[in-house]
Structure 1
Amino acid sequence: MAGKTIIFVRHGESEYNKAMRATGQDPFLRDAPLTETGRAQAEEAQGVLRKLQEEVGSDGWLLLSSPLQRALDTAAGLWPSRFFAPAERLERLEVWPELREVITGCDDLGSTPQRLLEKYPHLQQLNLLPEVWWTVPAAYQNLPADGDAMKDAYKDDEDAFEDADEAVFDSRVALLIEKLAAVPESKIVVVAHCDLIGKLTKKMGLKEKTTSGGFRKGWWLSNCECRMLRDFHFS
């Protein structure tokens, strides 16, 4: 049986990334979009993606994206003909909450499907997402899904959000691997996040060379880096 070919793409520079590089402190931006630089990175990566796809055949690809805005913005710039394709063209694009980033900052708190649809009205599949598809600790599940209350709760109690997310992470990755293995397509583009891709690929047994000549487990990508895994067999 043929294996899966997967191109992993990390999102472009987000407003959160930009602020963190400038100050080293969480700017408490919730679900930040791409910066102008990030949008340019996504557009520049179009050629890289096409070349990788052509190595194994340019047809029959599934595009998957995290629901966080920086990933959706990247998918839009990286592969606009697929991202904005009318639904009747039956080109495969799916948004999977399992591809969201590991919570390490306020930026990893998502937006409701209704809020996302204001920005991406053609993506009616966003209606299939739960109202809250990111991890929220039990103590804060009564808060409104949108607005500042949840952001303020994160500012006051970061550890609660991060601990709750860590507690479900292994099961999330296990489900993600099951879903990747089960899709009918053998060729997949995954637009997601640094820690998620790194920890997912580590679980898949992948390694990368370090600058010192050694190896580390997982693939840890820079903004809008595209890296292809060929003919991978899920056990």
Structure 2
Amino acid sequence: MPKIVHCIRHGQSTFNAHFAETGEDPLHFDAPLTELGRRQVQERARELRRYPYELVITSPLTRAIQTTLGLFGDHPAAPPIHVECLHREHLESSCDVGRAPSLLRQEFPHLAFDHLDEIWWHNEGEADPRGFVYEPGHVFEGRVEQFRRWLQGRPERMIAVVGHGTFFSRLTGRYLGNCEVAVLELGD
């Protein structure tokens, strides 16, 4: 029996809204959801209520956590939520720079962040003029494969993963719009 994974991209973030309008990085580090993003989450939550998820995995980036809580905060299956940094976004823009677990814990006290390093996003190399380190493609591709193997090793058969567009495009072969869902089947 295959493992079913619903890959769900986060709702619209402040970075997404600004970039769509101007084509420029607004330097919104760890960008939160916009009001439109919150509405997208509410609309998608109704559809996802019918699935008996055994586990929800969220990226530690704020827009993903906000999406996760909006989608699954009152889900009938009450699946546990696990924060995992392996499927964070490819660090190319300001919004992909995260925040320390201590700060995340203050904003989201009911989630566990203790297993994350203080800097869990890509930070190896020389900072660019914008103040952060671009993640090389080969490092990103390796992380995508590492996450695929991690998912395959999980015991659950029905999993929701809330994450990011570029990451999911590499994992599923399809680029998702905000709050769009792609189904990934993983064999044993």
TM-score (norm 2): 0.91
List per-residue Cα deviations over 1:150-204 (Å, max 9, x = no partner): xxx5515x6xx22x44241122112101110011101100100000000112xxx
SS at match of 1:67: coil
Task: Calculate the aligned-residue CA RMSD, in Å.
Answer: 1.8
Q: What corresponds to 1:26 in structure 2?
A: 25
1:219 match: 174
Supply the distance in 1 between the matched residues of 2:26 and 2:140 (Cα, whole angstroms). Answer: 24
**Residue correspondence of structure 1 range 1-235 to structure 2 within 5 A:** 2-51=1-50, 53=51, 58=52, 61-81=54-74, 91-123=79-111, 125-139=112-126, 155=130, 161-162=133-134, 164-201=135-172, 218-230=173-185, 232-233=186-187
Number of equivalenced pairs: 186
**Which of structure 1's runs of 4+ aligned residues deviate more than 3 A?**
none
**Unaligned segments of structure 2, at least 5 residues:** none
Q: Which has the larger radius of gyration?
A: 1
TM-score normalised by L of structure 1 = 0.74
Amino acid across the alignment from 1:229:
L
> Could you tell me the percent identity over the aligned residues?
35
Q: Which runs of 5+ in 1 are unaligned?
A: 86-90, 141-152, 202-217
Q: Deviations over 1:99-151 (max 9, x none)?
A: 1001121110111101111110111x2121110111013345xxxxxxxxxxx
Per the alignment, do residues 93 and 169 of structure 1 end up closer, same or farther by CA in structure 2, a change over 3 Å counting? Answer: same
Distance in 2 (CA, whole Å) between partners of 1:220 and 1:24 is 18
Q: Which has the higher helix share?
A: 1
2:105 aligned partner, one-letter code: L
SS in 1 for 2:33: coil
Give, in whole Å, the separation in 2 of the partners of 1:200 and 1:117.
Answer: 28
